[in-house]
Amino acid sequence: MRTTITLKNETHTFASYYASARGLTLSAAIDELIRKGQEAPASKPEICFSPMSGLPMFPPRGGTITAEMVKEIEEEEFDPQLFT
């Protein structure tokens, strides 16, 4: 199908470089990029909610932060000379 489209300069430049790097025509490159965009899964932010309060929170990523770990970091960062 033949059609005319208007692209922003940055988009045209990107598509041109993409086409050149892959040995494609500009039309074939734009077609390929659109198809790749259609196949890509939509990224959804991971949101989880606290079972206790119902408030949104960061999803669990593994390790647990202990009070000892926090105290160790606080001691490393605290310089009493800065407060005298």
CA distance linking residue 82 with residue 73, whole number of Å: 17
**Quick one: tokens of 3?**
């059609």
Q: Nearest Cα to 22, choosing from 11, 12, 32?
A: 32
pLDDT value of residue 71 = 85
Residue 28 has pLDDT above 90, yes or no: yes
Query: Bridge-partner residues for 57, per DSSP?
Result: 48
pLDDT value of residue 83 = 67
Model confidence, pTM: 0.48
Query: Domain ranges in the chain?
Result: 1-77
- Residue 21 CA to its chain's centroid (Å): 25
For 57-70, the pLDDT digits (tens) are: 877 777 788 899 88
